[in-house]
Structure formats: C-alpha cells, structure tokens
Amino acid sequence: MSLKLYDLALADRDIRPSPFCWIAKFTLLHKGLDFETIPVGFSNKQDYPDPEYGRVPVLLAGDEMVKDSAAIAAWLDKTYPEKPLTGTPGEAAAAEFYKAWLFASYFPAVMPMLVKRIHALAKNEDKPYFRASREERFGKTLEELHAAKGQKEKVEKSVEMLSGPLSHYSYLGGETPNLCDYLVMGAFMWPRLSTPEDIYKAPAPVAAWTERMLDLFDGYARKAKRPS
C-alpha cells in the first residue's frame, strides 16, 4: 500500500517543525513502513488532501484518508498490529497522560518562544495567514508573545517532570520506545527545527533520552534540517 504523509513545511521545504507531523512520522517509522512526505505550507489549503479540513498531518493510504496524528496512530495499530504503539491498556493510559501534560504544560510554555521565529521562517505568502491565525488564537501579537518573561524557566520546569521516569528507564515506554516517547519527542522537534540553537536546557536524563530518540531509525530525526 502506498503511504503519503502531508507534512507542514516552512520557506525552506526541508525545514518541517510541526510537532503533530513529527508524531505521525515517528509512528510510521516505529511500524517499519515506507512512506512519502508531501510538504505543504500554512496557507495553501488547496494543496491539502482535504482543503476544507485544512490541517496536517493527513495520511493517504491508498484510497483511505486518515486525519490527525492521534487517528493515524490508532489506524496504524489497527492496520499493522505488529509492534504495537501501545500494547497494553496501561501503555495507552500512559500515552494519554503524556498528551495531557504536553497540552497543559509544555506547549503553553514553549509556544511563546517559537511563534515569532516560525513566522520569520515561513514563506512570505504564508506570513499574513500565520500572523492573523495565531494572534486571533492567543489574543496577543506575535511580538507580545515573544516578549513574555520567564518562558525559558517555565519550559525547563515543565521538562524536569520527565527526569523521574527517564532516571530509571531508557524510554518513557520502558526498555523500548512506544507512543509515549513519540508524543513527547514529536513535541521536542518543534523547537529543535524552529531555531538554530537550543532555547532551553534539559536535565541530564532528558537530554540523554533526547539523544537516543534522535538516533532511532537510522538517525531519521537527527538528520532533519534545522534553520541556520
């Protein structure tokens, strides 16, 4: 079956920081599947597989269209049950916890540090859409978001939570990575691919885990292009 993943790209089509697209890519790699990525911008909705839906990631699997990273993960486990992303109810519950942590803690802390940077890296034709949609969503200008105080410290405090499990296990999934790891590492790819330098310092167990995640799948994530 031919698999095509629609993936959000910036002005440089090889720079693709979307955390949700990265979650989808990690889950496909976990299954050992070959897939093609199709880069699309923020505003060229006519190039999306479902312009009315207007979001990515979207996976085209033959004639089937699967929208949203969570739906893609569920579809992969149903369609390719070997090497499950969550093999037990406990693992599925843990994945739900990490997803909730990302939306309650990590994303709100790191987002103000990234939106102005991403705007600068977006295609010129995408910049008005990106600015208008984000400023409407957050009720502040990109410049006001970027000027928020203490965000680095908030991110570092959020990420410190991961030191607990990663001080005892190689992965959030235990001895081998599972959906928990892909959810969090997908989120970590957002700042990694939006900035040429690290914008916060992770504690040692989290930094070591990040290096292991970058090395997975023949270094797929490590090879992803960063801004210069």
Element (H, E) at 146: helix 142-146
Cβ burial of 217 (10 Å; 0-12, 13-18, 19+) is middle
Question: What distance, in Å, lies between the first and last C-alpha atoms of the chain?
Answer: 36
Question: How far is Cα 57 from Cα 67, in angstroms, rounded to an integer?
Answer: 6
DSSP string, 67-96: ESHHHHHHHHHHH--SS-SS-SHHHHHHHH
Question: In order of start, what are the domains of the chain with their CATH numbers?
Answer: 3-79 (3.40.30.10), 89-219 (1.20.1050.10)
Helix (H, G, I), strand (E, B) or coil at 194: coil
pLDDT tens digits along 16-37: 999 999 999 999 999 999 999 9
Q: Are strands 36-40 and 3-8 parallel, antiparallel or unpaired?
A: parallel
Q: What average pLDDT score do residues 93-118 get? A: 98
Cβ burial of 150 (10 Å; 0-12, 13-18, 19+) is exposed
Backbone phi, then psi, for 86, in 5-degree steps?
-135, 110
pLDDT tens digits along 181-227: 999 999 999 999 999 999 999 999 999 999 999 999 999 999 999 99
- To the question of pTM greater than 0.85 for the whole model, the response is yes
Question: How far is Cα 228 from Cα 209, in angstroms, rounded to an integer?
Answer: 24
pLDDT tens digits along 126-149: 999 999 999 999 999 999 999 999
Q: 13 Cβ partners below 8 Å, 6+ apart? A: 39
